[in-house]
Amino acid sequence: MARNPRTRIRKPGDRRQEPEGTAPSEPASAPKVEIDRSGPVQAVRRTAGERQSTAPEPTAQARPSLDLSSLEALAQMDRDDLASLLDAQPLHRTLEVGDQVTATISRVTEEHLFLDVGQKTEARMDRHELPEATAGQTLDAWVVWTDGVEAVLSARLRGESAAAFIDQALEAQIPVEGVIESRNAGGFVVSLGGVRAFCPARLIDRHAFGDLDRFVGREESFLVIEAGDKLVVSRRALQERELHDHVERRWSALVEGETLHGVVTGVQPFGIFVDCEGLEGLVPRSEASWERGINLEATFEVGQEVEVRVLSFDRAERKLTFSIKDPGSSPWARVGVDFVEGELYTGTVEGVEEYGAFIRLAAGITGLLHRSTVQGALPAAGEEMQVRLLSVDHTRRRLELGPPSAEAKERTIGQEVEATVVEVLRNGIVLALADGRTGWLPEAEAELPAGTILAQRFRRGKVIQGRISAFDPKRDRVTLTQRTDTEAEASRAWRARDRSDDGGSFGTLGDLLGKLKGS
């Protein structure tokens, strides 16, 4: 194998014994710098005149030449010679158009960013590409122009660079900039520095709905997803890639109750889907409005911008539940001010169930008229009627209603009371309440062990515990119960109403998103 030619350096001040009659090889009277380019590494030789101010006069003894092809030779070199050698031949690689580099912003001017790319000179980038960039920031960029010394970087490949480096852009997923020239039935024609590409309509944007003609004429950034006979680009893929880190940060910092800005991406009978810059969640129907029974499809549309509040989330499953209802505008704030216990109000029957009727007193304010308080049949849906507000449960935000004839003393329906047994009959027990009212405990409502009768468990004068379940204003008599059925029925009634307002069970958020995206 042929050996690399050796470069020999004559050390500054080296004076060999020259034959008599010959001139010195390096006159000390003419200081100059000579570069020996004959070897694989360039070397700089300085004359002795340059060294006189910094080093003592060397002896006349000749020093051996060094072989730069070996590490041992480099180790034996004089320190100043080695420094000159490195100055004369930078060890940095040469940048070429299309190279991806990691650069650090060294300084910022009004028009440019100057970046340290490990070369002897700084590279530059138009500041408009990263208007918020600051000195010290590190970024990845691509070389779009260089003359071997200076270089221009870009966060995108554009113009002729985009056209010339399509394959590199596909392989390295380098963003390219192009102009959206026109729209056809399937998508958009995009010009990448004179090269025509195709972007399918569904890949033009993360929210590819509404008037898609708005994209025509715009200069946008894309990722090349297919090259060769057919050049296909995607703007949506680049958006999702750029959102990835942002979404991860938002998930880690997410807290319940915070407000986010989003865009409606889908409307279904059970709720609406909202995308908040990559955080996708569901607004259940019950959280879309304070008004019950709202028609979501008539109220919301895809592409509509909304403000949502985070109700709950699951980081592991990436599930989010939103609410559009503003807590500060809750109609419940009127309860206790405009709606007071014991007063009469006119409402509309929203729905009738086996256990009672739900009466709408105002937007977002509905109460339950339990069947035990109504003499005869329950009212029909849509019917207007007058009711009395019997009690308010602020914790669960529930109103208990009664007929207009109900007195203030009846407002304790559901309250636990003590009563004294007055008489035990075959079908029930007559009781005396502490407030002077007469009570009646039906046999079916009494707490009896299996196989026993009323007379075996209850005696005259015995004090028992019960709960007021109904009131008969004609006979001024209250009905008691020792069972929990009435309270359980009321709870089931409210739960059933809440479920119907949410559209029932609809599976996981992932299932819903899958169905939505597949539709």
Per DSSP, the residues of 165-184 read THHHHHHHT--EEEEEEEE-
3-state SS, residue 166: helix
> Is 494 part of any domain?
no
**Is residue 296 domain-resident?**
yes
| Co-location of 139 and 165 in the same domain | no
Assign residue 198 the CATH number of its domain: 2.40.50.140
Which pLDDT value is given to residue 4?
Answer: 42
Terminal Cα distance for the chain, rounded: 68
Comparing C-alpha atoms, which of 297, 169, 286, 288 is closest to residue 234? 169
Query: What pLDDT is recorded for position 412?
Result: 58
Q: How many other β-carbons are positioned within 10 Å of the β-carbon of residue 490?
A: 20
Element containing residue 58 per DSSP (H, E): none
What tens digit of pLDDT does each residue of 438-450 get? 888 988 888 888 7
Query: Does residue 337 sit in the same domain as residue 397?
Result: yes
Whether residue 507 lies inside any domain: the answer is no
Judgement on whether residues 198 and 267 belong to the same structural domain of the protein: no
Q: Number of folded domains in the chain?
A: 6
Same domain for 335 and 368? yes
| 385 and 340 part of one domain | yes
143 band by pLDDT with thresholds 50, 70 and 90: confident
Residue owning tokens 């007195």? 407
- Tallying the residues shown for the chain, one arrives at 519
* Residue 449: both structure tokens together: 């062990």
Give yes or no: residues 29 and 47 share one domain. Answer: yes
Considering the domain boundaries, does residue 311 fall inside one?
Answer: yes
Phi and psi of 79, rounded to 5°? Answer: -60, -45
Q: Is residue 513 part of a domain?
A: no
Q: Do 4 and 67 sit in the same domain of this protein?
A: yes
Res 85: pLDDT: 61
Among the candidates 329, 359, 378, a domain finishes at 329
Tell me the C-alpha distance between 333 and 339, whole Å. 10
User: Where in the sequence is the domain holding 264, given as residue range(s)?
Assistant: 254-329
Task: Say if residue 105 is in the same domain as residue 142.
Answer: yes
pLDDT at 41: 33
Residues 322 and 337 in one domain: no
Q: For residue 495, is it within any domain?
A: no
Q: Is residue 342 part of a domain?
A: yes
Residues 106 and 131 in one domain: yes
pTM of the complete model: 0.50
Q: How many CB atoms lie within 10 A of CB 518?
A: 6
Residue 73 lies in a domain: yes
Whether residues 1 and 79 share a domain: the answer is yes
With a cut of 80, say whether residue 518 has pLDDT above it: no
